[in-house]
Amino acid sequence: MTKKKYDQCLEVSQDNTKYLELSIKRSKGLLPHMEVAKAFSKLLKNDIKKNTVMLDVGCLSGHFLKTFREKNNRDFFYQGLDPFSLHINAAKNVWKHDKKSNFKVGWAQKIPFNKKKFDVAICSNVFTHIPNILNPIKELIRVTKKKIIIRTPIHNRSYRIQMVFNNKWWKYTSVKPENEFDKKGNPRSFEYYDVHSKDYFSSVIKKYHKRAKISFVKDVFFSKKMINNPKERKNIPTKVINNMQVTDLMIVPNYFVIIKL
Ligand SMILES: C[S@@+](CC[C@H](N)C(=O)[O-])C[C@H]1O[C@@H](n2cnc3c(N)ncnc32)[C@H](O)[C@@H]1O
């Protein structure tokens, strides 16, 4: 049986040491900064100050912190959040000497912090994997004072996309190829790769914060050379084709959704 929480399959990340290893290497400076982390660093240039308190939802081992400490402010406070203790334990180990960071297990759907605890909250490459974004948006708005930046695929239409796993190519599932879909035709072990329409995404933000100022900034920050870097073998690598980021056979139209509260 595939275990799920909030309709997300746990076997995507729960034991995914390969993806975590890349993040640890980045956190330790053994691999280059991620292109997206550099983009966040630029977008937050004026927001990360000495006394800033930041939340990073879906933090893996805290590789964004490495980028911010080097390119932004050395002293701001960083709180990492991730549902998987595999990730959080690794983060705690990597950052054990960093006095101004903390890591906690928790889900975007139910953020384990009090209201308005953070000046800034970021969430990168997570919303696409969450089938119901209502609570994550509500929760981010609840815990943040000033600004939220979410990086996720946005288009003028929404798409519900599921990548379906089997144990021939995905070692973290026990589902055999012949059992990929159940009797009703639903996938057993999967990860969402949803694309949200600008209109829907904005409407959800407005539902929870009428006066929020929203801007959609297309991710054109990446360098093709770095994304195609063969040294960084991911389970499912992203390539740049015709200036578009492509994961396996999916075009990923990434945007930064900037929400000023
Ligand atoms: C694709 S990685 C992105 C890591 C990093 N933010 C980045 O952009 O490189 C997705 C991360 O989000 C975490 N995650 C998955 N579902 C989540 C949820 N519902 N709430 C918070 N984090 C989640 C995963 O454990 C994983 O660490």
Residue whose CA lies nearest to ligand 1 atom number 22: 58
CB of 8 closer than 6 angstroms to any ligand 1 atom: yes
Compute, in angstroms, the gap from residue 153 CA to the centroid of ligand 1: 14
Measured distance CA(111)–CA(121) in Å, rounded: 11
pLDDT for position 2: 87
pLDDT for position 61: 98
Measured distance CA(229)–CA(239) in Å, rounded: 9
Question: Per this entry, what is the length of the chain?
Answer: 261
Asked if 67 and 38 count as a contact pair (C-beta separation under 8 A), the reply is yes
pLDDT for position 237: 78
Compute, in angstroms, the gap from residue 155 CA to the centroid of ligand 1: 21
Measured distance CA(54)–CA(42) in Å, rounded: 15
116-147 pLDDT, tens per residue? 999 999 999 999 999 999 999 999 999 999 99
Compute, in angstroms, the gap from residue 124 CA to the centroid of ligand 1: 7
Scored b (16 or more CB within 10 A) or e, 79-102 reads bbbbbbebbbebbbebbeeeebbe
Measured distance CA(54)–CA(36) in Å, rounded: 17
Phi, psi of 196 (to 5 degrees): -105, 145
Measured at the CA of 14, the angle between CA 195 and CA 131, to 5 degrees, comes to: 25
Q: Torsion angle, CA of 143/222/240/256, rounded to 10 degrees?
A: 30
pLDDT for position 161: 97
Instruction: For the chain, list residues with pLDDT below 70.
Output: 225-235
Tokens of 35: 């292109």
pTM for the complete prediction?
0.96
Task: Show me where the domains of the chain are located.
Answer: 4-260
pLDDT for position 229: 65
Of 190, 194, 151, 161, the closest CA to residue 58 belongs to: 151
Q: Give domain 4-260's CATH number out of 3.40.50.150, 3.40.50.620, 3.20.20.70, 3.60.40.10.
A: 3.40.50.150
pLDDT for position 223: 75
Hunting for tokens 């054990």 — which residue is that?
Answer: 96
